[in-house]
Amino acid sequence: MENSLKTLLRKHNVSLKKAYGQNFLTDSALLDEIVEKAGVESCDTVLEIGCGAGALTRAIAKKAKRVIGYEIDTSLKPVLSDVLSEYKNVEIIFGDIMKQKMADVEKKLGGKYIMVANLPYYITTPIIMQFIENAKNLSAMVIMVQEEVAYRLASKESTSDYGAITVGINLRGEAQVVLKVGREKFSPPPNVDSAVVKIVINHDKFKSVDMTAVRNIVRIAFSSRRKMLINNIMNGFKLSREVVEKLLTDSNISLTARGENLTAKDYVCLCETMKKAGVIQ
């Protein structure tokens, strides 16, 4: 383990917990680069999820107006107090982010904010979807994820990486891989390489659309990836082949398409056609 981190943890008698995905970053140039990619400025409020030993928190605090951090592991309290002692613009909340109500988190943040997170891999997808679907004031998410997940999030339609989560993101914004980070940059190093993804949120995108209905269609379209869309829609909505053929034709979607061939806009269009035809509410 990197020496200064080892000394810090030893000073406070803290050992790292694998179960919480505690692979920490120590390279200050890399930490500054993540903050720069996030576009954090002196007027910004930042939500950090998983503060760990506070290295990324400190890099954000140097640039942002305010940082609200969540950390599940209370044994890191003395470490974080030590590392962040000179930053009065940081508040750490000890708790499981997955158990917080979105309204409470956003009330704490007070207005528009950027999320920056080096996420434990096991909560990557739920966190992203929770914030994409429910956050009201989030302007961008800059998150470190496993490299293969990063490419999935930012993939284009008709590629093998493209999936329901990609469409979910594209319904609210756009994702881009902004930085690759090798496993050796973490302490201790995980078994995989990582990458930082930036998702810029556009709350006006498909604003007047019934998102719950669109997301349900997306879920059904990807329910069996090997099947054609027509079959997944027939099975998922209990509709006849003839009806679904007409729905797809009216939406300008090929009868041989699979879920992965449709853009977010195609899904919105299909949803509107299904509503007009009265096959969904």
Which residue, 5 or 248, is less far from ligand SAM as judged by CB?
5
Which residue, 130 or 139, is less far from ligand SAM as judged by CB?
130
* Smallest distance, ligand SAM to C-beta of residue 72, A: 4
* Smallest distance, ligand SAM to C-beta of residue 151, A: 19
Are 114 and 47 spatial neighbours (Cβ–Cβ below 8 Å)?
Answer: yes
> In which element (H, E) is residue 168 found?
helix 164-170
Are 62 and 40 spatial neighbours (Cβ–Cβ below 8 Å)?
Answer: no
* Smallest distance, ligand SAM to C-beta of residue 116, A: 9
Q: Which residue is nearest to ligand SAM (CB)?
A: 50
Query: Which of these, 263, 213, 205, 262, lies nearest to 237 by C-alpha position?
Result: 213
Which residue, 56 or 230, is less far from ligand SAM as judged by CB?
56
Phi/psi region, residue 129 (left: phi>0; alpha: psi -120 to 50; beta: rest), is alpha
Report the number of secondary-structure helices (H) and strands (E) in the chain. 12, 9
* Smallest distance, ligand SAM to C-beta of residue 5, A: 9
Residue ranges of alpha helices (H) inside 18-115 are 28-38, 55-61, 77-83, 102-109
Positions touching ligand SAM (CB under 6 A) are 20-25, 49-52, 55-56, 70-73, 96-98, 118, 120, 123
* Smallest distance, ligand SAM to C-beta of residue 136, A: 20
Residue 250 DSSP code: H
Which residue, 23 or 166, is less far from ligand SAM as judged by CB?
23
Give the span between the Cα atoms of 153 and 176, in whole angstroms: 8
Which residue, 87 or 237, is less far from ligand SAM as judged by CB?
87
* Smallest distance, ligand SAM to C-beta of residue 74, A: 10
Which residue, 110 or 189, is less far from ligand SAM as judged by CB?
189
> Would you give the distance in Å from CA 261 to the centre of its chain?
22
